[in-house]
Amino acid sequence: QVQLVESGGGLMQAGDSLRLSCAASGGSLSNYAMGWFRQAPGNEREFVAFISWSGFTTRYADSLEGRFTISRDNAENTVVLQMNSLKPEDTALYYCAAATSRFLRPQKSSSPYEYNYWGQGTQVTVSS
């Protein structure tokens, strides 16, 4: 069973960039399609980004307007979310997740129910 640990969160200013990492142990991330989600207080968990097990396919929430980039290094067992031009509305607890199916299709990747391994989250706070 894979364990996921997120890191890299912090208190930022609007317009800053931030890099979140998700490190895995107990299994190889190459066996999993991966996603990033976020949850702000009082809100439901929201899809942010998806990357296929190979890294060849990615998908992003439309609301991000191209500001975030997901990548992975299977050799290092890590997934990274690069966040640029941060906005106050990006403030949330950010989670990485490993999908139930290695071959999760991008069209289904935005549903949290497609993922069965989750990290504890890392807090990102953006002030205006």
Residue 113 CA, chain-centre distance (Å), reads 15
pLDDT tens figures, 10-39: 999 999 999 999 999 999 999 999 999 999
Residue 83, φ and ψ in degrees, nearest 5? -115, 120
pLDDT tens figures, 116-125: 999 999 999 9
pLDDT score recorded for residue 124? 98
State mean pLDDT over 51-60.
96
Give yes or no for residue 100 having a pLDDT over 90: no
DSSP letters for 73-102: ETTTTEEEEEE-S--GGG-EEEEEEEESST
